[in-house]
Structure 1
Amino acid sequence: MSSSFSLTEATPQITQIARSIVFGVDKGGVGKTSLAANVAGQAAAAGYKTLIIDLDPVGALHNDLGYDKEDGSRLFDALRKGRPLPIIENIRPNLDVVPGGADLRDLQGILFARGQAPMEAFASLISASLGAIADPYDLIIIDTPPGDPWIAEGALCVATALVIPARPDDGTLDAVENTAKKFMRARHFNPDLRLAGAVMFGIGGASRRIARQTRERLTETLGEAAPVFETRIRYMETAAVDSRRRGMLIHELSPAVEESVKQRFTAFKSGKSVEDDKALLATDVGNLAKEYTSLTREIFTRLMEIEAEVNHD
């Protein structure tokens, strides 16, 4: 599924990219990159050819996936010159990455110098550069920054759907409202864009009351535009630290955690100690891995619903 539309007579045509999902919210520290990376990894592990694009100038995605950090210059050059996005292939089986970095911010000054509105111009650039490489992929996930609104809104202008991460605090819930406004502005240029839903992130496994209240507030904010996904991703700081120290996704970390626990127990029985720099902090991430699997299934189900909606319209 794809649709084409023009921003203005003077602006290049923009094409929506099929099965492309933006993970975005107008606030940092809400699990956006963790969600994007782990959903991409789960989809790839299930056999779907997946591409994840880091449009955040911070470029933190490399921590989750374990590749060398880049400065964003390759992405900057590709967009500026209208070339295909730079891909690191086979980060995992079926999983490719477009690395981000700080140089991406320099693009805004160039667009202003050309007298172009950055959001609209960036949308046309990402459309051309992503469109050149999109065909082989079953799923494209775009991680966007909490700042630099021209990047996030430009990405929405080419996307199929938006997933909004949300933590259970007033600041995040206010950010959800601001993100919904960006979504509506992007729909002016991309009428087939849909709100896939919101996912509750960082809620304790036993915090049922907090989860219920957060779900109610999100549902009130979003109305009938999109669901709040049934799956919520629990808060587990030790798993987050272990994951990024080792460049492993949660479902990859799970067997390593089990082995680490066995080693600790064996060392304890023999009166020895495990070296701190080798030991993992988490003791069980199995349920967290299952939550990411469940969320990925929900997102795919929602994507199929969106495709049916758009094709019916």
Structure 2
Amino acid sequence: MLDDDETPPIDREALSNTYVIANGKGGVGKTTLASNLAGLVAADGGSVLLVDVNGQGNVGRDLGYRGTEVDDEGAAFYEALRTGKALEPVRDVRTGLDVIVGGQHIGAAPDMLAATFRMQQHRQALALAVCLAPIARAYDLVVLDSAPENPPLQQLALSAARWMVAPTRSDKASINDGLGSISRQVQLVRRSVNPDLELLGVVLYATGSASKQIHRNARAWIAEELGADAYLFDTIVRYAEAVGQDARSHGRLIHELEEAAASNPKFWDLRAGRAAAGTVVSATSASVAEDFATLAREILTRAAEGDAA
């Protein structure tokens, strides 16, 4: 363990509205939840920062900037972590929504930090907190999308956050492997560098809204893995594969798809060739958008209750 003077002082109060979306397993809706939570709060008038702590850079797909001049694949983020300087966001990717771009350079960040801060594991883990705290007070909400199956990147994100939200699929493997893995990371980070970190809740993602027995099984497995089922949020994000495909292919958030669906061309215009099939988005997006909106309210309400307690 390092002496306190080996790490710059971190303003933990500035990070009190920082949420990390994390799971030890991929494919459970983590990036989708991070992007849509951030986008919804921004659309509602909040000032939001979304940080892509992921070598895959899929936040760029959700927000439609992947492969554009905005997408430096995490190069600026990497350099801030290396030097300890304050992060410099890309402004107004959506109104009220700024982004720290991730990508392949962030995938290489753990090796760089290990070489830069040799024998200083404490400083390595806190590299993101050091760069984020100076700008975090400018935002109502900061959302971190963490990398699955990458403990060093997970520790970077967890060490900078106040609250963790864990999405999961309803199968036992996702719950045992994904939640089990990330809960161990949370315990390690709390003991070593960030005692403020708390698990806010678990979200069942991409499951049938009427699958009551499946939900009961999942609740029992979550309780078995975490020691209590009180962490499970009431809101369930329903399964809608077409909506997920539309979101990534169009570079739009789910509530933006809902708005676009209202302008879908008529069937007879498609049949007559007066409109392109590629302009049609799934009408199911309205239901999924409502799930995300309800979940966002539940997340923020539970966090406010936690702070008050």
Question: Are 2:116 and 1:129 equivalent residues in the alignment?
Answer: no
User: 2 CA distance for matches of 1:245 and 1:124?
Assistant: 35
User: 2 CA distance for matches of 1:186 and 1:77?
Assistant: 23
Please name the residue that 2:166 is paired with: 164
Question: Are 2:80 and 1:78 equivalent residues in the alignment?
Answer: yes
User: 1 CA distance for matches of 2:47 and 2:150?
Assistant: 29
Question: Are 2:246 and 1:242 equivalent residues in the alignment?
Answer: yes
- TM-score, structure 2 length as denominator? 0.90
Tell whether the 8 Å contact from 1:79 to 1:125 is kept in structure 2 after alignment.
Answer: yes
Q: Residues 118-142 of structure 1, C-alpha deviation per residue, up to 9 Å, x if partnerless? A: 7633333212210121111111000
CA distance change for structure 1 residues 186 and 258 in 2, over 3 Å: closer, same or farther?
same
Decide which moves more: 148-157 or 10-19. 10-19
Please name the residue that 2:278 is paired with: 277
Shift of 1:152: 0.8
User: 1 CA distance for matches of 2:241 and 2:152?
Assistant: 31
Please name the residue that 1:152 is paired with: 154
Q: Residues 229-277 of structure 1, C-alpha deviation per residue, up to 9 Å, x if partnerless? A: 00010111111111111111111111212321xx233426x75574233
Question: Are 2:36 and 1:44 equivalent residues in the alignment?
Answer: no
User: 2 CA distance for matches of 1:205 and 1:273?
Assistant: 36
Tell whether the 8 Å contact from 2:237 to 2:292 is kept in structure 1 after alignment.
Answer: yes
Tell whether the 8 Å contact from 1:76 to 1:107 is kept in structure 2 after alignment.
Answer: yes
Please name the residue that 2:55 is paired with: 57
Question: Unmatched 5+ residue regions in structure 1?
Answer: 1-5
Tell whether the 8 Å contact from 1:158 to 1:190 is kept in structure 2 after alignment.
Answer: yes
Decide which moves more: 60-69 or 106-115. 106-115
Decide which moves more: 26-35 or 186-195. 186-195
User: 2 CA distance for matches of 1:129 and 1:264?
Assistant: 50
Alignment-mate amino acid for residue 115 of structure 2: A
User: 1 CA distance for matches of 2:289 and 2:121?
Assistant: 36
Tell whether the 8 Å contact from 1:54 to 1:100 is kept in structure 2 after alignment.
Answer: yes
What number of residue pairs does the alignment pair up? 300
Question: Unmatched 5+ residue regions in structure 2?
Answer: none
Please name the residue that 2:32 is paired with: 34
Tell whether the 8 Å contact from 2:87 to 2:100 is kept in structure 1 after alignment.
Answer: yes
Shift of 1:108: 2.3
CA distance change for structure 1 residues 120 and 81 in 2, over 3 Å: closer, same or farther?
same
- TM-score, structure 1 length as denominator? 0.89
User: 2 CA distance for matches of 1:130 and 1:42?
Assistant: 22
Decide which moves more: 118-127 or 81-90. 118-127
User: 2 CA distance for matches of 1:115 and 1:44?
Assistant: 36
Shift of 1:185: 0.7
Shift of 1:94: 1.4
State which of 88, 91, 94 in structure 1 corresponds to 2:90: 88
State which of 11, 20, 27 in structure 1 corresponds to 2:6: 11
Q: Secondary structure of the residue that 2:136 maps to in structure 1?
A: coil
Please name the residue that 2:236 is paired with: 232
Shift of 1:91: 1.2
Alignment-mate amino acid for residue 259 of structure 1: S
- 1:241-260 matches, within 5 Å, as 241-260=245-264
Q: Secondary structure of the residue that 1:22 maps to in structure 2?
A: strand
User: 2 CA distance for matches of 1:199 and 1:234?
Assistant: 11
User: 1 CA distance for matches of 2:117 and 2:137?
Assistant: 32
Q: Residues 98-152 of structure 1, C-alpha deviation per residue, up to 9 Å, x if partnerless? A: 1011112333223333453676333332122101211111110000000321111
Question: Are 2:178 and 1:183 equivalent residues in the alignment?
Answer: no
Tell whether the 8 Å contact from 1:59 to 1:102 is kept in structure 2 after alignment.
Answer: yes
Q: Secondary structure of the residue that 1:47 maps to in structure 2?
A: coil
Q: Percent identity?
A: 33
User: 1 CA distance for matches of 2:278 and 2:120?
Assistant: 45
Shift of 1:7: 5.2
Q: Secondary structure of the residue that 1:96 maps to in structure 2?
A: strand
Shift of 1:306: 2.3
State which of 197, 217, 224 in structure 2 corresponds to 1:193: 197
Please name the residue that 2:292 is paired with: 292
CA distance change for structure 1 residues 90 and 119 in 2, over 3 Å: closer, same or farther?
farther
User: 2 CA distance for matches of 1:126 and 1:266?
Assistant: 53
User: 1 CA distance for matches of 2:291 and 2:120?
Assistant: 37
User: 1 CA distance for matches of 2:118 and 2:44?
Assistant: 41
Q: Residues 54-105 of structure 1, C-alpha deviation per residue, up to 9 Å, x if partnerless? A: 0001111011111233321111111111112121111112111110111123
Question: Are 2:300 and 1:307 equivalent residues in the alignment?
Answer: no
Shift of 1:181: 0.9
Alignment-mate amino acid for residue 200 of structure 2: A
Question: Are 2:109 and 1:107 equivalent residues in the alignment?
Answer: yes
Alignment-mate amino acid for residue 265 of structure 1: F
User: 1 CA distance for matches of 2:107 and 2:94?
Assistant: 28
Tell whether the 8 Å contact from 2:52 to 2:102 is kept in structure 1 after alignment.
Answer: yes
Decide which moves more: 271-280 or 240-249. 271-280
Q: Secondary structure of the residue that 1:133 maps to in structure 2?
A: helix
User: 2 CA distance for matches of 1:165 and 1:8?
Assistant: 35
User: 2 CA distance for matches of 1:90 and 1:178?
Assistant: 34
